[in-house]
Amino acid sequence: MNLIAQLQDVLGTDQVLISPEAQAHYLEDWRGRYQGRAQAVVLPQSTDDVIQIVQRCGDAGVPIVPQGGNTGLCGGATPDTSGQAVVVAMTKLNRIRSVDAINFSITAEAGATLDQLKVAAESVNRLYPLTLGAGHLSTLGGTLATNAGGLQVLRYGMTRDLCLGLEVVLPDGTLWSKLSPLRKDNTGYDLKQLFIGAEGTLGLITAATMKLMPLPAARALIWLDVADAEQAIQAHALAQTVFAGAQTAAELISPITLSLVRKHLPEAVLPAVAGDWPTGWAFMMEVSAHDAEFLQALLAAWVRACAADRMPAGSLIAADEDQAAIWAIRKGLAESQKREGISIKHDVGLPISCIPQFLSEASAALEARFPGIRIVTFGHVGDGNLHFNLSFADPAQNVALIDQSLAANAVVYEVVSRLGGSIAAEHGIGQLKPAWLAAHAPAGSIALMQQIKTALDPRGLMNPGKVLPG
Ligand SMILES: Cc1cc2nc3c(=O)[nH]c(=O)nc-3n(C[C@H](O)[C@H](O)[C@H](O)COP(=O)(O)OP(=O)(O)OC[C@H]3O[C@@H](n4cnc5c(N)ncnc54)[C@H](O)[C@@H]3O)c2cc1C
């Protein structure tokens, strides 16, 4: 039997997509930046299905591209154009296996979406904290494979920080399972860390045990019009001391970014309590507590601290519907950028104190190299993470800019590197940045990564062309 017939035998013909129409959704990334081809897209529904797929593909020497919700922003889940790969779409392997309210943990299959995890956690009065704009699509496996960050890292950490245990099908088709719910477990190498952030290059994650948190009883947003990034990070530093751990988000949005939201998402409405749409930068912070009175005390302390420092305290937004309206604006930024057209995306990590310097130096260097360039920047400034997207408003000029992506990247990454930053803060490397990773990784890092890759996947069949160069 050929490979397709074997996969149909294992999974059933309706779970093996062969026609171009059925495959189309799986062969292009969310931004429309990458298009690939595959001999099949398969939809496993159990860990055993995944084992069978990996073994059959291994026997046939066929590369595998793992895919979750296909919301990644670096092309990691898109196959190359050779048409040889099998895409393993994990969205039907999505059961919540167990929720332990006392241990504050949840075990779920890799295709469960973030929204599914949140609902399951809330059913026992707990919080699954990982929050992204694409949470209705992004999966547990995809967020683990990219070590996703998002909007609440400041308080709860990245996906890696939330993971207690993993179940993984290795490239040779064997199962490694340690779905441990333990918080302390120093028994040799912490193997799960190898697969978190590996973007599917070392194995297919089939399930995980994740931490849950107490569900906050009260949340408030602070919406501040600020002159520039410097003022935002000063406000953030003050907030860190006043809120002492109760701050859950700190997001910066540039004026151009806000203008794109207003252009492309007319349904996005700034609530009256936040004032008029800012003409300058917007800075928003979320504070949450397990008691409404305590939250009020924190907000009062914030107003006093701002008065003492002669800083604006901003609009304090308590009503749930007003907070939801502001979060819809924040979560709509990536979508409005996408509707505006293709851009050169950067997802950089910086020491928070260096953010203003990065913005002024990178902007000046880009303007000198590409006069009139438009910089759409926003991000999780409380984590030192900026999205820094480059484009021209004029479509013809924009096409020419995209052709010069390498030159534009070099300008940006030179400044990032000089300031001790990272070229990939939370979106990963995918097929977008392997060469840049190789150029910026500390000496010896790529060789070490290659040794790990070779040890686990000697034939290089697991998500080839992603993360590592060459
Ligand atoms: C509107 C929007 C907002 C976003 N906001 C954020 C944000 O705030 N923070 C952030 O970090 N990211 C953000 N992202 C990026 C994206 O959502 C994350 O990278 C997410 O982790 C991808 O999950 P996914 O299930 O869609 O994975 P996919 O895109 O399907 O895959 C991503 C990578 O993981 C691998 N993979 C997927 N599933 C598995 C598995 N089970 N086992 C092994 N490897 C696997 C794939 O091969 C690929 O390399 C955003 C994206 C969008 C579209």
pLDDT along the chain (470 residues), means of 10: 95 97 98 96 98 98 98 98 98 98 98 98 98 96 98 97 98 97 96 98 98 97 96 96 95 96 93 92 96 96 96 94 95 93 95 97 98 96 96 94 96 97 97 96 96 98 95
Rounded distance between C-alpha atoms, residue 15 and residue 333, angstroms: 34
Q: Which atom of ligand 1 is nearest to the CA of 131?
A: 8
pLDDT for 382: 95
Residue whose CA lies nearest to ligand 1 atom number 11 = 148
**Cα(139) to centroid(ligand 1), Å:** 7
Q: Which atom of ligand 1 is nearest to the CA of 76?
A: 49
SS3 152: coil
Q: What residue spans in the chain does CATH classification 3.30.70.2740 cover? A: 341-452
Buried b or exposed e, range 187-214, using 16+ CB within 10 angstroms: eeeeebebbbbbbbbbbbbbbbbbbbee
Rounded distance between C-alpha atoms, residue 215 and residue 128, angstroms: 8
CATH class of 218-335: alpha beta
pLDDT for 436: 96
Q: What residue spans in the chain does CATH classification 3.30.43.10 cover? A: 3-90
pLDDT for 111: 98
pLDDT in tens, 158-171: 999 999 999 999 99
C-beta 166 within 6 A of ligand 1: no
CB 429 within 8 A of CB 437: yes
The pTM of this model reads: 0.96
Two tokens at 392? 């021209």
Rounded distance between C-alpha atoms, residue 157 and residue 169, angstroms: 26
Q: Alpha carbon of 35 to those of 30, 31, 222, 382: distances in Å?
A: 10, 10, 41, 34
Q: What residue spans in the chain does CATH classification 3.30.465.10 cover? A: 96-214
**Cα(79) to centroid(ligand 1), Å:** 15
pLDDT for 470: 79
C-beta 73 within 6 A of ligand 1: yes
Rounded distance between C-alpha atoms, residue 120 and residue 55, angstroms: 33
Q: Which atom of ligand 1 is nearest to the CA of 111?
A: 41
Residue whose CA lies nearest to ligand 1 atom number 9 = 150
CATH topology of domain 96-214: 3.30.465
- The architecture in CATH of the region 341-452 reads 2-Layer Sandwich (3.30)
pLDDT in tens, 243-264: 989 999 999 999 999 999 999 9
**Cα(332) to centroid(ligand 1), Å:** 17
pLDDT for 1: 74
SS3 86: strand
C-beta 139 within 6 A of ligand 1: yes
User: Does the 3-90 domain belong in CATH 3.60.21.10?
Assistant: no
C-beta 143 within 6 A of ligand 1: yes
Q: What residue spans in the chain does CATH classification 3.30.70.2190 cover? A: 218-335
pLDDT for 346: 96
pLDDT for 146: 98
Residue whose CA lies nearest to ligand 1 atom number 3 = 133
